[in-house]
Amino acid sequence: MGTPTATQTTFLAIPDREAGVASYAILQLPYEGSVSYGQGTALAPSAIVNASAQVELYDPEVELDLEILNIHNPAPIEQLEGEDVEDYLNRADTIAKDLHDQGMLVLGLGGDHSITPALVRAARASRCAPDDHVTVLHIDAHADLRDSYDGSKHSHACAMKRVLDDGVDRVLSIGIRSGEKAEFELSDTDERIFTVTAQDLHKYPSAVEVALDKIKTISGKLYITFDIDALEVHLCPGTGTPEPGGLGWWDALRFVRAGFMETPNAQVIGADIVETVPMQGTSVNEFTAAKLATKFLAYHKARRLELDTH
């Protein structure tokens, strides 16, 4: 643990590093324009940063003291009075791209899943050549492949459809257990999409290996988006649309670790964690998200150190 203060403004309570010096930016996106059921994802980013002050700075899995991380904590992107979703997302895109351009890997904290397409656009604009092959690793309970939802193309339920429309080459979805028939059909017929359902992970132990193998053979540029509702509900009862039957913590971490550390032919260009909703009387939701975000950083840093010494 760092040294927590009453309201924590730096991730892991590590002193903030300047934009030009830092390697990571923890970008808070308290946006919940399109959550269909539970409200409150806008409260999540600051709650997650607060909770992160309680996360131990030593990671025994990768044997890293996380105090070495250079983290910048830019101002949260608050939705402005009267600002519509498109303007908000364009602004988020511009801010995230600027952070990438200054050499920081952006880890977005939502907010609902509708922020992901903007963050992917920013990462691609800054870190990819036009002919780079880009994969989005999508860990989620929901397929998020609707073309529109509730009258909006920017809904959280459309996040993966939007990134494909934006020109991402491949979406690898893991943990999916909810969606309308057309979404599953699209996944079956569109060769850009590969889905490992939660049902398969539960029924066939080999499905875990299939998913891991799919991750490890990703080549090109890789963006990782983690919807917290991918996890089993006891880990995150506070989320926009809870779904029982999710991933256990350690299985989820295997997939995340594979994405960050076991992709010899791929380079991570950005990541996000979305759909957390803080609840009164428990800190489990924000703590789970804070711990997950910490693992993202630990895995990424461990991989960087590994590459430096080889």
Considering the complex, state which of residue 88 and residue 149 has its C-beta at the smaller distance from Mn ion: 149
Query: Which of 31-44 are b and which e, b meaning 16 or more Cβ less than 10 Å from the residue's Cβ?
Result: bbbbbeebebbbbb
CA distances from 13 to 3, 8, 78, 89, 274 (A): 6, 7, 22, 28, 21
The distance of closest approach from Cβ of residue 16 to Mn ion in the complex, given in angstroms and rounded to an integer, is 30
Considering the complex, state which of residue 53 and residue 157 has its C-beta at the smaller distance from Mn ion: 157
Q: Is-contact 233 177, C-beta < 8 A?
A: no
What is the spatial distance between Cα 205 and Cα 36, in angstroms, rounded to a whole number? 33
The distance of closest approach from Cβ of residue 24 to Mn ion in the complex, given in angstroms and rounded to an integer, is 23
The distance of closest approach from Cβ of residue 173 to Mn ion in the complex, given in angstroms and rounded to an integer, is 10
What is the spatial distance between Cα 290 and Cα 28, in angstroms, rounded to a whole number? 12
The distance of closest approach from Cβ of residue 230 to Mn ion in the complex, given in angstroms and rounded to an integer, is 8
Q: Is-contact 175 201, C-beta < 8 A?
A: yes
The distance of closest approach from Cβ of residue 275 to Mn ion in the complex, given in angstroms and rounded to an integer, is 6
The distance of closest approach from Cβ of residue 156 to Mn ion in the complex, given in angstroms and rounded to an integer, is 6
The distance of closest approach from Cβ of residue 57 to Mn ion in the complex, given in angstroms and rounded to an integer, is 30
Considering the complex, state which of residue 64 and residue 171 has its C-beta at the smaller distance from Mn ion: 171
Considering the complex, state which of residue 115 and residue 302 has its C-beta at the smaller distance from Mn ion: 115
Q: Is-contact 184 149, C-beta < 8 A?
A: no
The distance of closest approach from Cβ of residue 189 to Mn ion in the complex, given in angstroms and rounded to an integer, is 21
Considering the complex, state which of residue 24 and residue 149 has its C-beta at the smaller distance from Mn ion: 149
What is the spatial distance between Cα 145 and Cα 101, in angstroms, rounded to a whole number? 30
Query: Which tokens in the block code for residue 288?
Result: 């789970």
Considering the complex, state which of residue 40 and residue 103 has its C-beta at the smaller distance from Mn ion: 40
Residues that bind Mn ion (CB under 5 A): 113, 140, 142, 144, 227
Measure the CA dihedral 112/117/268/126, to 10°. -130
Bridge partners of 59, per DSSP, are 64
Helices (H), the chain: 44-52, 85-101, 116-127, 159-165, 181-189, 198-203, 205-216, 249-261, 284-308
The distance of closest approach from Cβ of residue 36 to Mn ion in the complex, given in angstroms and rounded to an integer, is 11
CA distances from 288 to 47, 120, 205 (A): 11, 23, 25
What is the spatial distance between Cα 45 and Cα 275, in angstroms, rounded to a whole number? 10
Considering the complex, state which of residue 142 and residue 300 has its C-beta at the smaller distance from Mn ion: 142
Considering the complex, state which of residue 139 and residue 222 has its C-beta at the smaller distance from Mn ion: 139
In sequence order, the 6+-apart residues with CB closer than 8 A to the CB of 15 are: none
